[in-house]
Amino acid sequence: MMMVQSEDPAPYLAAGQESRQPLARTALAVSIVDLVAEYTVTHTFRNQGTGHMEAVFSFPVPLDAAFMGMQATLAGETLTAEIKLRNAASRDYDDAIAEGHSAVLLRAPEPGLLCVSLGNLGPGETGEIVLRFAAPIRVADRTARFSLPLVHRPRYGQWRLDQLDVPTHDFAVEHPMTASFRVEGLLATAPVHCATHPARFERDGDAMLLTIEQGMLDRDLVLSFELQQDLPPSGRLIVDGDAFLGMASFVLPTPDAPRRPLNLCLVMDCSGSMNGDAIAQSRAAVTAMVDSLGEDDRIQVMRFGSTTSLWFRRPLRATPRVRKSLGTLVSTLNADLGGTEMGRALALALQQIALASKQGTSDAIILVTDGAVQPRDIKQAKAAAKAANVRIFVVAVGSAAGAEVLEPLAQSTGGTLERAVPAEPIDACVMRQLRRSQQPAPLSLSVMWQAGAATPMKVGVAYPGDAISVHAVLADATAGEVVVWMPGLGAERQIALAAPSEAPALRALIGQMRYRAAQKSQRASIALHYGLLTEHTSAVLVKIRAESHRAEGLPDIVSVPQMVPAGMTHAVFDDLDIPMFCRRPSQSADYSVDFMMCPPSETHYQVEEEAVEPVRRRGLLDLFRKAPLPRAMVRLPAITPERAREVLNAINTLLREAYSRDLFAPATLKIAIASLPDDMQEDARRILRALGRQASLTHRAHAMLLLVSLEEVMGGEAPDDDTEAWLAEMGADSEVASIAQMRDLPRIREVLANGVPACDVVANVAR
């Protein structure tokens, strides 16, 4: 689809159609100085109808961004919004609309989501709304990252919002967007990469300029800066009325001590909303992680959506054979499991972690998801993880991911949250989380402010290699420094504070941190003090119109839909009922759990019968062509339990040798039977018939399943990790699905206990 730059939205419409979508264009202007970004979002609305209109548009905003102000130009007049308590702002807006004036109301219905209402825009009129924000630049492992969500991905589950506030999606709409960046200070000379949009780069003195000329609001915007060395420590004093705000930033050193063995469960969202780029990036993330595991680590991988599917029956030691199987099983990572039942997935992940947890291991879950979740859905899993000392590290994909719930989940367990957009490789995020999970715990920091009386703010979860900031409210600007002790690393940092300065962006960001850390009774006053947009406050402005230009009656409400996110191939994500290969259902959970091998479907049976029937017909024809032989009833003696155990032990030994030499082939079991002593071969065939394995002789997967069953029943122990990995790997192969039901342990135990009874058979008799 060709994009055309135009002031008029008409080129984006189908021929003969009149647009009722009022969002004409969006422009971004971003200024990055050191590790702080100030950006403006300008939305231009146009009323193409014949009556007055109220445009309602919900759009994402970074969770860590702080609101800095709103202006609007209506009927040629530019107005500045005022931050008020939420009810007062809504009342001012409603009163203005009822009296025929124009007004703009900006609200935050929930964290990470803003809703703007532009009321009483007259026919043919254009309204321009300019929003200003500040956001921190996150740094880890010498990578600085600026991320700006621009579109909501469809969310699984119900929004707890008014109907008009809920983001909707429409394949037919297009929202054009342009963007410009100016980078100064620490990042101005760093190599930069825009993973989401084609951008033009140029220099302007010491500054770097980036321009995106033709974009759409169908994907988030991400810039990544590769730092050539660790950032130098810095200290700031920011004027805040009669007080001051202190901030010190530095990079935590990396210890030289050997890491602890990791007991990890990788929980991958495979719901329908991950379809497209997100699931492709998830496969790349698993592939990248495999090579970083050591042989003393244990790994389990879980797919989840409406149901859950484990790759292995238990966490396996990351041997070369297990890592090879992980690489093979990556191809089964598909967005085919329906919705996002995250609470159940985390509960099962904790059960898997418990199976392999030992003293001296680092127990962790890495959760990759784009799903929104309500706090109540993960309340029990959150409490269980804290009680079991299992850290949960989250990679939130896309702007619809419920980071407002997932970040507290991670922080409360000692984990962290990383954000990624679907078009951005998420393997770097997963690798950073893997690096953190290999540490025994987050670092414990002790901070002392020497600049006058200080009220320190809580330090968040941090790990070696991360860049962090510490903050405090200071009574005065007495010169001094910040001393940070890091007992876990045996190190400290002394950071001098610069002279006080006006820094509106830093003031807003630190003010928002104060708001989030404050008690509920204090939050409203803090939000008003810093002019923040929160659940307690909204921004409102009113354009007073002359009597002759006032609207009569209430305006028509037009909800502006989101574009369908790029990389998503379906507009509607229905729950998919696609059975995964599973071995058996979980007996301990109150919900179904699919393993990598499952009973065959009816289709498998039909295909097998169709394939076998011609062979049967040919056998009958051969029988008729040959001269008939005398036949008689022959009685075969019973096989005692002792004899059955002797024969099965011999088969097990031969299969184990074939497995250890990686010699499994279609006729492995047939060759093994032929290798037995002559007096055992007939008994072996009879025992296989008693086990329902008469078709096993020429199928390598049958032989593998028989080996696993015999190892588990006769050895009294579960198969070793390499065997389990190989079995799971074969479970991803379609040929194995047709015979997985033959792993019948009770039948093997019955033969070992009772042997095989005597039977009468019809046999040919020699002439």
Q: What is the pLDDT of residue 595?
A: 35
Q: Rounded to whole angstroms, how far apart are CA atoms 586 and 588?
A: 6
Query: How sure is the predictor about 337, in pLDDT bands with cuts at 50, 70 and 90?
Result: confident
Task: Identify the weakest region by mean pLDDT among 65-79, 531-545, 599-613.
Answer: 599-613
Query: How sure is the predictor about 694, in pLDDT bands with cuts at 50, 70 and 90?
Result: low
**Can you state the percent helix, strand and coil of the chain, rounding each to 5?**
30, 30, 40
Tell me phi and psi for residue 651, to 5 degrees.
-60, -45
| Number of Cβ within a 10 Å radius of residue 81 | 25
Flag whether pLDDT at 18 surpasses 50.
no
Query: 258 or 121: whose pLDDT is higher?
Result: 121
Q: What is the pLDDT of residue 323?
A: 93
Q: What is the pLDDT of residue 298?
A: 95
Q: Rounded to whole angstroms, how far apart are CA atoms 401 and 274?
A: 11
Query: How sure is the predictor about 7, in pLDDT bands with cuts at 50, 70 and 90?
Result: very low
Summary mean pLDDT of the chain: 81
Residues 6+ apart with CB under 8 A from 566: 216, 218, 219, 277, 422, 423
Q: Are 137 and 36 in contact (CB under 8 A)?
A: yes
For 272-278, what is the mean pLDDT? 77
For 666-690, what is the mean pLDDT? 86
Query: Over the stretch 288-335, which tens digit does the pLDDT of each residue have?
Result: 898 889 999 999 999 998 888 889 888 999 999 999 999 989 988 888
| Dihedral (CA of 329, 332, 337, 339) sign | positive
In the chain, the percentage of residues whose pLDDT exceeds 90 is 37
Query: 521 or 726: whose pLDDT is higher?
Result: 521
Listed ranges 131-145, 471-485, 732-746; the one with the highest mean pLDDT: 131-145
Q: Rounded to whole angstroms, how far apart are CA atoms 434 and 426?
A: 12
For 412-427, what is the mean pLDDT? 81
Region at 702 (left for phi over 0; alpha for psi -120 to 50; beta for the rest)? alpha
Q: What is the pLDDT of residue 299?
A: 95
Enumerate the β-bridge partners of residue 560: 57
Q: At residue 263, what is the residue type?
A: N
Query: Over the stretch 752-767, which tens digit does the pLDDT of each residue have?
Result: 899 999 887 766 555 4
Query: How sure is the predictor about 524, in pLDDT bands with cuts at 50, 70 and 90?
Result: very high
Give the strand pairing for 491-496 and 537-543.
Answer: unpaired
Q: Rounded to whole angstroms, how far apart are CA atoms 195 and 34?
A: 21
Enumerate the β-bridge partners of residue 202: 209
- Which of 246, 248, 235, 368 lies closest to 305, judged by CA? 368
Helix (H) or strand (E) holding 59: strand 53-60
Query: Over the stretch 637-657, which tens digit does the pLDDT of each residue have?
Result: 899 999 999 999 998 888 888
Query: How sure is the predictor about 132, in pLDDT bands with cuts at 50, 70 and 90?
Result: very high
Q: Rounded to whole angstroms, how far apart are CA atoms 235 and 244?
A: 13
Residues 6+ apart with CB under 8 A from 477: 237, 244, 451, 452, 499, 500
Q: What is the pLDDT of residue 718?
A: 66
Tell me phi and psi for residue 11, to 5 degrees.
-60, -15
- CATH class, domain 10-155+180-230+532-563, is mainly beta
Query: How sure is the predictor about 602, in pLDDT bands with cuts at 50, 70 and 90?
Result: very low
Q: What is the pLDDT of residue 479?
A: 64
Strand, coil or helix: what is 694? coil
Instruction: Please state which CATH number belongs to domain 262-437.
Output: 3.40.50.410
Task: Identify the weakest region by mean pLDDT among 36-45, 98-107, 564-573.
Answer: 564-573
Strand, coil or helix: what is 518? coil
Helix locations, 7-101, DSSP H: 86-98
Q: Rounded to whole angstroms, how far apart are CA atoms 633 and 760?
A: 6
Q: Are 210 and 180 in contact (CB under 8 A)?
A: yes
Residues 6+ apart with CB under 8 A from 327: 287, 290
Q: What is the pLDDT of residue 28?
A: 97
| Dihedral (CA of 500, 519, 58, 85) sign | negative
pTM of the model: 0.72
Residues written for the chain:
767
Q: Are 737 and 600 in contact (CB under 8 A)?
A: yes
Q: What are the angstrom distances between the C-alpha of 230 and each of 33, 37, 194, 451?
A: 17, 19, 21, 26
Flag whether pLDDT at 2 surpasses 50.
no
Give the strand pairing for 176-184 and 23-33.
Answer: parallel
DSSP structure class, residue 185: G
| Number of Cβ within a 10 Å radius of residue 421 | 29
Helix (H) or strand (E) holding 342: helix 342-356
Which residue has tokens 């600007």? 477
Q: What is the pLDDT of residue 20?
A: 62
For 551-579, what is the mean pLDDT? 66
In the chain, the percentage of residues whose pLDDT exceeds 70 is 82
For 339-348, what is the mean pLDDT? 88
> Within the chain, what is the greatest distance between any pair of CA atoms?
119
Q: Rounded to whole angstroms, how far apart are CA atoms 34 and 334?
A: 40
Region at 409 (left for phi over 0; alpha for psi -120 to 50; beta for the rest)? alpha
- Which of 274, 258, 276, 331 lies closest to 301, judged by CA? 331
Query: How sure is the predictor about 17, in pLDDT bands with cuts at 50, 70 and 90?
Result: very low
DSSP string, 126-137: EEEEEEEEEEEP
For 225-249, what is the mean pLDDT? 88
Query: How sure is the predictor about 611, in pLDDT bands with cuts at 50, 70 and 90?
Result: very low
Q: Rounded to whole angstroms, how far apart are CA atoms 187 and 226?
A: 9
Query: Over the stretch 156-192, which tens digit does the pLDDT of each residue have?
Result: 555 666 777 778 888 888 999 999 999 999 899 999 9
Which residue has tokens 């941190």? 513
Q: Rounded to whole angstroms, how far apart are CA atoms 375 and 386?
A: 15
